[in-house]
A and B are shown apart, each in its own frame.
Chain A
Amino acid sequence: MSKVIIIGAGPAGLSAAITIAENGLNVLVIDEYMKPGGRLLGQLYEETNGNWWNGIKESQNLFDKAVAAGVEIKLKTPVSNIEKMDDIWNVYTEDEVYTTSHLLLATGAAEAPLPIPGWTLPGVMSVGAAQVMTNVHRVKPGERGVIVGVNVLSSAIAMELKLAGIDIAAITLPKMNIVTEKSGNPLDVMNSLLHVSHMAPSAFVKMGSKLMKNDFMKRMGITFFPKNGVKMWDIPIMLRKAVVEIYGESQVEGVTIATISPAGEVIPGTEEKIAADFVCIAGGLYPLAELAAVAGCPFYHIEELGGYVPLHNERMESPLEGLYVAGNITGIEGAKVAISQGVTAGLAIVNSIDGGKQEAKLNDSIKAIEETRNDAYIQFHPEVKTGKQKLLNFWNEHQKAVVS
């Protein structure tokens, strides 16, 4: 019997691989990166209970467990295409074509860039790149950086950079244009930050966010938001300033920032320069669904899940026979949710191969995803559950259309 193939050695892919291998089936995991763990590798933060979540350690644990269970893992192997021929999935890599009856896509997420004048200068990088350089490769992206884009990911990474002894001059907004409309609007950004206020280290900010439940208070809050920002881990978070330009002769030398109105308009004459040798752009994450797209899977755009998501059901099955999805490809959430989804996808695959012996376990694992989601420390989108429900409705409509 052919091996099950999983694309992506992140938390979802590895946990699925473990689940499948522990049920006695052969599994091959393919990943383009040189280390297993995916985006989990970069993560480092303190949980509410005081424990530290160390992505490198968690990745190593999953990897060791997978290897012990007999999973074969091929790193540094990008997949350039997948296609189905005669009921078999063909997985194309540079040197080999692999075939399988059951293929799981656990390709994770990618970062959306925010175009800002000067963003093509050397020294400008995505915030995730700075995180990987620092936490995975132990290389400082620079001595002093500015982070453009205020969101959960960028504030968490700012703290990680700080822990590595890198000076962060400010976290601030991009100047508003059509592309940065949401990330550049102070009120929108504040709204999206309020639901993660429990992560703020200062009791004052936590208290403040409770007072900000209604629109009037929010508008007052952003109108009187201190122009020089509030400090978190000693880093000024500036919601009333925006980067209008990244400057430098042959590489980043700094950014020009200006005060903006509560609606995001630049107030002329308020420009000032901040010296920096690197700039991180934080436009947020979106599901990386290229392979599901070339396979011909139907897609739906769901804002709450971070963008276009391949259609799938609660068992992580796509409408294409033998094609499964798990992790951030199904919507932007934390690593723990991805791990739970990996278990479900793994069980769904085992269930399909052994003729339905896993039904009970499978149903339990679906409930477990829900519980993990409820307990999640970081919610990337406050309405992620609404998003999941929307997708399920699309799935039901699609099934009806197929039957009739």
Chain B
Amino acid sequence: MVICRCEEVTYEELVKTAERYSCSPRELKLRTRAGMGYCGGRTCRNAVDSIALSSTERNVSEITLKYQPPIRPISFSKLGEVVNND
């Protein structure tokens, strides 16, 4: 069963990695690339979070998986304010 569609990471792979390393959500993300695709984890964030938190404690005062701008898709040229004068 696929959890992260962008990076094609399966449930089985996430559970195995979480069990083996008892890792935080962030570490689970970095080890498997789940949530690092172009959607920025918008679909799988909660799932990655819950799988990692089945073997570690949640830190209630910190978001487990960081948000990075841009939080919505934006074209590269607009992002870099590149003006083409040709």
Can you offer 15 A-B residue contacts whose CB atoms are under 8 A?
Answer: A80-B70, A80-B72, A80-B74, A83-B69, A94-B75, A110-B42, A115-B1, A115-B3, A116-B1, A177-B11, A178-B54, A291-B71, A294-B68, A299-B61, A299-B63
Chain A nearest Cβ from B22, distance in angstroms: 14
Contact of B69 among A112, A283, A294 (CB under 8 A): A294
Asked whether, in the complex, the Cβ of A298 is within 8 Å of the Cβ of B61, the reply is yes
Contact residue range for chain A? 20 to 34
List the A residue with the shortest CB-CB distance to B18: A178
**Chain B interface, DSSP helix/strand/loop, else mixed:** loop
Give Cα A308 to B59, complex, Å. 11
Asked whether, in the complex, the Cβ of A179 is within 8 Å of the Cβ of B46, the reply is yes
Asked if A117 is at the interface (CB within 8 A of a chain B CB), the reply is: yes
- Chain A to chain B: the 4 pairs with minimum beta-carbon distance, closest first: A81-B69, A80-B70, A78-B72, A293-B67
Asked whether, in the complex, the Cβ of B60 is within 8 Å of the Cβ of A301, the reply is yes
Seed contacts A115-B3, A178-B15, A293-B63; 17 additional CB < 8 Å A-B pairs: A78-B73, A79-B71, A80-B71, A81-B69, A113-B44, A115-B1, A177-B11, A178-B54, A179-B47, A179-B51, A290-B71, A293-B66, A293-B67, A294-B71, A299-B61, A301-B58, A394-B61
Give Cα A119 to B42, complex, Å. 15
Asked if A286 is at the interface (CB within 8 A of a chain B CB), the reply is: yes
Residues of A within 8 A of B86 (CB): none
Asked whether, in the complex, the Cβ of A92 is within 8 Å of the Cβ of B70, the reply is yes
Give Cα A95 to B81, complex, Å. 10
Which of A's residues lie within 8 Å of B, judged by CB?
32, 78-81, 83, 92, 94-95, 110, 112-113, 115-117, 119-120, 177-179, 181, 283, 286, 290-291, 293-294, 298-302, 308, 394
Contact of A300 among B44, B47, B60 (CB under 8 A): B60
Asked if B56 is at the interface (CB within 8 A of a chain A CB), the reply is: no
Asked whether, in the complex, the Cβ of B50 is within 8 Å of the Cβ of A79, the reply is no
List the B residue with the shortest CB-CB distance to A303: B60
Give Cα A394 to B78, complex, Å. 39
Asked whether, in the complex, the Cβ of A290 is within 8 Å of the Cβ of B67, the reply is yes
Asked whether, in the complex, the Cβ of B46 is within 8 Å of the Cβ of A117, the reply is no
Contact of B47 among A115, A301, A308 (CB under 8 A): A115
Residues of B within 8 A of A94 (CB): 74-75, 78
Asked whether, in the complex, the Cβ of A181 is within 8 Å of the Cβ of B67, the reply is no
Contact of A120 among B2, B15, B78 (CB under 8 A): B2
Residues of A within 8 A of B50 (CB): 178-179, 181
